[in-house]
C-alpha cells in the first residue's frame, strides 16, 4: 500500500464540489448502542439495492442501517463527470454526518470507493462485498463473460452488467429483470479509473476489514477475493451458488447475517 499522506495540496486547493445525495435508512425501534452501518452501492447501483432487503434486516437485528447513492446514481444529483475521489467524498460526508462512528460496507466497485474513503475517515470497521478493485485482469474476465456490456465502457460508454453476471438462477426471472432495469451507470472518468486499479492510501484508524463474496460470482473471481482479503490480513468468507449482487440474490439473508455476526464478535468494531 502507499504511504500515509499528510500533505494534500490538491484536495485542499480543489475541494470536491458538493452534490445532493440520496440516503435511505432503516433504524431499529430501540436504540441498542450498536454502530451504524453505511452501505455503499457499486457502479450502476443506487441505495435502492440495499433498501430491498439488507437495510431492514440489519435494523431488525439492532443495527441502524443507512445506504447512500453515489452522485449520479439512484436519487442523487446527476454527475456525469464524477471521479473516484468525488465518490469517496460522498461516502465520507455521509459517514461523518451519522451520529456515531460508522462501519462502511461497500459492494462491487463501491468496495473500492470504501477502500479510498477509509483513508479519509476512521471507520469502526469495513466490509468489502464482492469487491471490484479494477485492473486489466478484471477487465479481461468481464469482456470474456459479457463483451457487449463491457467493451463500450472502455470507450466511455455505459457499463452494462447482465442478469447472468449479477444473479444466480435461483432468483425468479421477473425479479431479476426488475433489478437489471433499475441499473444506471457511473461517470466515465470513474469507470476509466477502474482500469488502472487505483491504489488506496492506508486506512486511518486501523479498522478491522472483512472481505466476502461468492466463488460463483461472474464479475469477481474467487482468486481476486483471496488477493484482496490477504491485503487486509484475512481470508474471504464465501457464499457458493450466489451471483455478484449478493444483497439482491435469492439467498440474500446469508451474507448479511454473516456480516452482522462478524460485527457482533469483532471487538474493535463494537
Partner 1 sequence: MSTSTDHGRPDPDATPSAQSPEGRPLSDRGDTVCVIGAGASGLTAIKNLREHGFGVDCYERETGVGGAWNWRHDRSPVYASTHLLSSKPFTQFPDFPMPDSWPDYPHHSQLLAYFERYADHFDLRSHVWFGTEVIRVEPAEGDRWDVTTRSTGGYGPERTSRYAAVVIANGHNWSPKLPRYEGLEEFRGEIMHASSYKDPAQLRGKRVLVVGAGNTGCDIAVEAAQQASRCWHSTRRGYWYAPKYVLGRPADQVNDALLALRVPLRVRQWLYHWTLRLTVGDLTRFGLPKPDHRVYETHPIANSQLVYYVGHGGIGPVPDLARFRPYAVELADGREIDPDLVIFATGYLPRFEFLDASVFGDSAGTGRPTLWLNAFTPGHPTLAVAGLVQPDSGMFTLAHWQTVLFARLLQARRDRPERAAAFAQRVRDRAGERYSGQVKDSSRHWFEVGHADYLRAVQRALHDLEAK
The residues binding partner 1 (CB under 8 A) are 3-15, 18-19, 89, 92-93, 96-101, 120-122, 204-206
Q: Are 88 and 204 in contact (CB under 8 A)?
A: no
Task: Write down the least CB distance from residue 210 to partner 1, Å.
Answer: 19
Closest approach of partner 1 to the CB of residue 204, in Å: 5
CB of 73 to partner 1, least distance (A): 17
Rounded to the nearest whole angstrom, what is the least distance from the CB of residue 76 to partner 1 in the complex?
Answer: 12
Query: In the bound complex, what is the minimum distance in angstroms from residue 205's beta carbon to partner 1?
Result: 5
Rounded least distance, CB 208 to partner 1, Å: 13
Please state whether beta strands 65-69 and 22-26 pair in parallel, antiparallel, or not at all (unpaired): antiparallel
Q: Between 103 and 219, whose beta carbon lies closer to partner 1?
A: 103
What are the cell numbers at 44? 450502476
Q: Which is nearer to partner 1, 47 or 256 (CB)?
A: 47
Q: What DSSP string runs through 178-247?
A: HHHHH-----HHHHHHHHT-PPPPPPTT---EEEEE-TT-SSS-HHHHHHHHHHTTS--EE-TT--S-TT
36: CB partners within 8 A, 6+ apart: 63, 64, 65, 66, 98, 99, 100, 102, 103
Q: Phi and psi (nearest 5°) for 211?
A: -115, 130
Q: Give CA torsion, residues 181, 36, 123, 212, to 10 deg.
A: -50
Nearer to partner 1, 79 or 256 (CB): 79
- Shorter beta-carbon distance to partner 1: residue 97 or 156: 97
Nearest residue (CB) to partner 1, 19 versus 222: 19
User: Would you say 19 or 154 has its CB closer to partner 1?
Assistant: 19
Amino acid at each position: 500500500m502507499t504511504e500515509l499522506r499528510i500533505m494534500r495540496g490538491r484536495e485542499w486547493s480543489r475541494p470536491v464540489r458538493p452534490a445532493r445525495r440520496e440516503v435511505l435508512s432503516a433504524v431499529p425501534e430501540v436504540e441498542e448502542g450498536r454502530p451504524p452501518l453505511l452501505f455503499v452501492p457499486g457502479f450502476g447501483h443506487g441505495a435502492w439495492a440495499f433498501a430491498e432487503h439488507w437495510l431492514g434486516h440489519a435494523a431488525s437485528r439492532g443495527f441502524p442501517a443507512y445506504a447512500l447513492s453515489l452522485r449520479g446514481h439512484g436519487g442523487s444529483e446527476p454527475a456525469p463527470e464524477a471521479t473516484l475521489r468525488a465518490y469517496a467524498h460522498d461516502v465520507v460526508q455521509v459517514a461523518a454526518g451519522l451520529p456515531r462512528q460508522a462501519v462502511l460496507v461497500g459492494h462491487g466497485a463501491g468496495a473500492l470507493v470504501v477502500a479510498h474513503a477509509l483513508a479519509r475517515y476512521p471507520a469502526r470497521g469495513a466490509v468489502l462485498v464482492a469487491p471490484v478493485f479494477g485492473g486489466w485482469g478484471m477487465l479481461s474476465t468481464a469482456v470474456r463473460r459479457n463483451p457487449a456490456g463491457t467493451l463500450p465502457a472502455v470507450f466511455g460508454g455505459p457499463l452494462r452488467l447482465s442478469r447472468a453476471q449479477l444473479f444466480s438462477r435461483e432468483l425468479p426471472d421477473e425479479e431479476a429483470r426488475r433489478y437489471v432495469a433499475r441499473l444506471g451507470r457511473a461517470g466515465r472518468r470513474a469507470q476509466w479509473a477502474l482500469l488502472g486499479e487505483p491504489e488506496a492510501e492506508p486506512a486511518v484508524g486501523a479498522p478491522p476489514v472483512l472481505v466476502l463474496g461468492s466463488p460463483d460470482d461472474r464479475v469477481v473471481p474467487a482468486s481476486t477475493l483471496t488477493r484482496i482479503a490477504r491485503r487486509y490480513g484475512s481470508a474471504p468468507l464465501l457464499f457458493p451458488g450466489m451471483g455478484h449482487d449478493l444483497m439482491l440474490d435469492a439467498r440474500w439473508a446469508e451474507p448479511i447475517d454473516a456480516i452482522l455476526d462478524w460485527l457482533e464478535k469483532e471487538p474493535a468494531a463494537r
